[in-house]
Structure 1
Amino acid sequence: MREIEALGPDGVARAARLAEEAGLDAVGAADVLVGDGTLALECVVTMATAAAVTRRIKLDFGVLSVPTRPVAMMAAQVQTLQYLSRGRVRLGVGIGGFPGSPFWSAIGAGGTHRGRATDAALGALPGLIAGRPTAVGDGPEVTLAPGTAVPPLLVGSGTSEAGLRRVARLADGWLPSGLTPSQLKPAVARLREYAEEYGRPAPLVNMGVHAVLGDDPEARRAMETQLAGFFQLSEQEVRQATVSGSPEEAAERVAAFAEAGADEVGFGLDGGDFLHQVELAGEVRARVAGGQPPHASNS
């Protein structure tokens, strides 16, 4: 989140415009409000800012934390952004990763039954966003207008059976992260098996990958050290689970994730010069565009 301080209030708009000019497919924002002084911008407002200064690029949430928002409010925010952006939203949701944090406690977000709450949200969001009368929990039916096209619904989760079955049963796509290609491949196979079991099409796989592009060994080491602890990965695994180096080297890593089953690869850019990282991500996108690789995005 260093880019928040480095770029200042104009940073989101500048980065979004640059991402569109660089040929990237999407920009994204994560829902990381912790409340302990960690720098983080609220993601719905951030994506609204990006929408206002762009025309083509998709607007990704990776992911909205279901426990921190009443479902009807989440639907109203997404419906409004979908309407104002002319249908560019792709809605990623998940159980959230910060239960017990000061922010979660302050807003009364529960740390239990998060999977059940996510299932309920995925069931209600399509009707609410489309403007159909929809019951929310045990409350009355709610009708939101103007109804819009329902954005693709994607779920962020790990590789547990419960998480993959949630995606296969209720979502259009899966948002994994912190996996090596060799870990991703069997998970994608299981996801497709579950989707077939439920009689649904195979979900899109949008692999979230932390990246340091270009020649920045210090930033790369810092990224690898942080992620090794967070995802409990070995030194070798963390290098396989991330992207770094020149656009040519990064394109090879993207190809490895594509071979493992990823339809898209979203970069979480951890390098020092964020805007230059966006430009380099555009170069990676251009290098893989000649074949049939996954699309690229930045968050």
Structure 2
Amino acid sequence: MRLGLRLPQRLGVDLQHDVVEAARTAEAAGYASLWTYERLIFPETPAEPYAPPNVPWPETQRQAADPLAVLTAAAVATEQVRLGTSVLIAALHTPVQLAKALATIDQISGGRMIAGLGTGWSSDEFRATGATRADRGRFLDETLDVFDAVWGPDPVNFRSPRVVIDKASVLPKPVAKIPVMLGGGGSAKALQRIAKRADGWLPFLATPGPDGAAQLRASWDRIREMASEYGRDASRMEMVVVGNVTFTDRPPGPDRSPFVGTLDQIMDDIHTAAEAGADELIVDLNLQDWFTSTRQMLETAVEIRERAAAS
């Protein structure tokens, strides 16, 4: 199983220097990919908690630098690692502009872009862009349709409730087809969308240990089974697990959440993801409030990569 690393976007990051340093360090350490996430605004009194039932939004996300700008800097600073978003919220973007931005980064990087998308959950962010929670699934489907159209041959003809393109060139095109991966999967409709439309899945590990591996593998098997029923080549699909790491001073008990605990426990969770059949795992250290510098974060990232390689 490969490892990817989330790039620093959080509060306190020196964007002028830290993004490039992190990208180069991760590639040199053997990470296979670099990823960004999207947080558009940080409401003081959000409509929804960060996680149920009442988990507050992480203060480190008060700043979440633009994910595509960060990936562009990483593209220039690296040669081989893949560059992905985990995830962009489709409803926060105009589909044609998003398709063009992703294709541009793909050209700059020589064909290393991965488009990870999701429906999102924050009513505050939807309102900031003129959308609503009710729009989110429909806008994601429309965005996927626009990608198919504008990344294809010119002239492009496309019509949907929001987008009209009438015999127009839409350039640049991607180097090759950009893999589109989808997050979520908590509902039957979400699983169906992944199976029918996506090149891969970006899930979280719900439970540590063998039970968590079995649950994740069962969902992944179901997605690929449905993909085959749609006439797709399920063997070409990827599962990239997202690991949002939070270190603790003492080992939490058996009811701990995945990727919360000591370094040894985090390594156990990485092995669990591999046992579930993950092709890759994203190590995200952005939530860790006691990383006082990007260099300190990178030292831990390199240690995780070395321990994973040794095992």
Fold-level similarity (TM above 0.5): yes
Q: TM-score range by the shorter chain?
A: 0.7 to 0.9
Query: Aligned with 1:265: secondary structure?
Result: strand
Residue deviations 1:8-65 (CA, integer Å, cap 9, x gap) = 5422222112211211111111111124272211111111122122222211100111
Per the alignment, residue 207 of structure 1 pairs with 241
- State the distance in 2 between where 1:244 and 1:57 align: 28
Query: Aligned with 2:11: secondary structure?
Result: helix
Matched, 1:285 2:299: no
Flag the 1:54–1:95 CA change in 2: closer, same or farther, 3 A.
Answer: same
| Paired residues of 2:194 and 2:200 also in contact (CA < 8 A) | yes
Flag the 1:129–1:286 CA change in 2: closer, same or farther, 3 A.
Answer: farther
Q: Over aligned residues, Cα RMSD in angstroms?
A: 2.6
| Paired residues of 1:212 and 1:277 also in contact (CA < 8 A) | no
1:144 counterpart (170, 179, 192): 170
Structure 1 spans left out of the alignment, 5+ residues: 222-234, 292-299
| Paired residues of 2:259 and 2:265 also in contact (CA < 8 A) | no
Residues 1-150 of structure 1 correspond to what in structure 2 (within 5 A)?
A: 3-7=10-14, 9-36=16-43, 38-99=62-123, 101=124, 103-132=125-154, 133-138=156-161, 139-141=164-166, 142-148=168-174, 149-150=176-177
2:193 counterpart (166, 183, 194): 166
Structure 2 spans left out of the alignment, 5+ residues: 1-7, 45-61
Q: CA deviation at 1:94?
A: 1.0
Query: Aligned with 2:243: secondary structure?
Result: strand
Q: CA deviation at 1:285?
A: 3.1
- State the distance in 2 between where 1:26 and 1:285 align: 12
Flag the 1:82–1:130 CA change in 2: closer, same or farther, 3 A.
Answer: farther
- State the distance in 1 between where 2:255 and 2:300 align: 24
Q: Point out the structure with the larger helix share.
A: 1
Per the alignment, residue 177 of structure 1 pairs with 204
- State the distance in 2 between where 1:237 and 1:123 align: 41
- Which stretch shifts more, 171-180 or 278-287? 278-287
Q: CA deviation at 1:260?
A: 1.5
- State the distance in 1 between where 2:146 and 2:84 align: 20
Query: Aligned with 2:84: secondary structure?
Result: strand
| Paired residues of 1:123 and 1:170 also in contact (CA < 8 A) | no
| Paired residues of 2:100 and 2:172 also in contact (CA < 8 A) | no
| Paired residues of 1:126 and 1:150 also in contact (CA < 8 A) | no
Flag the 1:267–1:36 CA change in 2: closer, same or farther, 3 A.
Answer: same
Q: CA deviation at 1:262?
A: 1.6
The alignment covers a number of residue pairs equal to 271
1:253 counterpart (251, 269, 281): 269
| Paired residues of 1:22 and 1:283 also in contact (CA < 8 A) | no
- State the distance in 1 between where 2:84 and 2:72 align: 11
Q: CA deviation at 1:249?
A: 5.0
Q: TM-score scaled to structure 2, two decimals? A: 0.77
Per the alignment, residue 259 of structure 2 pairs with 242
Q: CA deviation at 1:144?
A: 1.4
Residue deviations 1:137-196 (CA, integer Å, cap 9, x gap) = 251244312222221100011332111110000010011125222431221122122112
- State the distance in 1 between where 2:108 and 2:91 align: 25
Query: Aligned with 2:133: secondary structure?
Result: coil
Q: TM-score scaled to structure 1, two decimals? A: 0.80
Flag the 1:238–1:73 CA change in 2: closer, same or farther, 3 A.
Answer: farther
Flag the 1:201–1:275 CA change in 2: closer, same or farther, 3 A.
Answer: farther
- State the distance in 1 between where 2:255 and 2:229 align: 31
Query: Aligned with 2:105: secondary structure?
Result: helix
Query: Aligned with 1:140: secondary structure?
Result: strand
